[in-house]
Amino acid sequence: MKLLFSSTLSVAAATATALVTLGAPAQAASFLGIDIVEDSPVTGTAPTIPHQTNVFLGDGYTYKFSVMAPDGLGSRGLFYSDFGFMSNGQFTALFMEGANPTAAKPNGNSFDIPNSAFINDWQGTCDVTIKSPCMVDYTFEKDVEYQFGVWERGFSGNGTPMFRTFGVAQLDSFKFPSLTDQAQNNPIIEVSDPGYYFIGMEDTRFPLPNGEFYYDFQDWVVKAKAQHESIPEPGTVGALLGLGALGLISRRRKAVKR
């Protein structure tokens, strides 16, 4: 398979980019078109779900996606759903529900433990509910448009599919409620792995009686990491600019002494 993300910048390119973008209006940071947050757990109610995923352009880089360790990664919800992205009008699933078929569910299962709504919010884990492989490398084609989301297939797994495009990303760790949004006492789960982004997706399946929606961004929790050299952080770019300026000054002084 192939994967994608932002291109690696050389020091010169990073410096040029910083110079060009100085004074530009601030925009929300994102990972693969998904808003980066720093305030998980991200839960609440609203008439419009926040943090809709955005279309982004691939640049030919490879990313590693996983629903293995740590414990807590995977899917939640009674309905069958898959995690992946839309491109050119086609959905590509990176992880799919429906492992371990039984006589009652020949197409597989959408959650690990039957009748477990208030136990673990119908949690699905890899090789139990989620089909393997549990780790996927994918390269996003350069200049091709993509958008991440959840592909819902209904209660039976054969319903009318719906593409849900709400998600957040957080670096190094992520907190989210462990139970269904119908539960009053809802313990928080925290997952962490330094250097990885944790992606939390929302399916907006059940609207509230007042017309609003409850959102908790835990219907899929996946970790992801770019498989290439990272782009310098803004502080690093600033330091590079400073070093570049010092270098120019030093060379000019030496030229004057000569």
45-93 tens-digit pLDDT: 999 999 999 999 998 999 999 999 999 999 998 899 999 999 999 999 9
Q: Which domain holds residue 171?
A: 11-231
| Alpha helices (runs of H) in the chain, residue ranges in sequence order | 11-21, 117-120, 234-257
- Residue 160 forms part of a structural domain: yes
Q: Measure the CA–CA gap between 147 and 34, rounded to whole angstroms.
A: 9
Statement: residue 246 has pLDDT above 50: no
pLDDT level of residue 27 (50, 70, 90 thresholds): low
What pTM was computed for the model? 0.78
Report which secondary-structure segment, H or E, holds 10: none
| Residues 215, 200 contacting (CB under 8 angstroms) | no
7 pLDDT tier (thresholds 50, 70, 90): very low
Number of domains in the chain: 1
Q: Does residue 242 lie within any of the structural domains? A: no
Beta-carbon contacts of 35 under 8 Å, excluding residues fewer than 6 positions away, are 28, 29, 51, 53, 54, 167, 168, 169
| Residue 47 within any structural domain of the chain | yes
Q: What is the pLDDT of residue 125?
A: 96
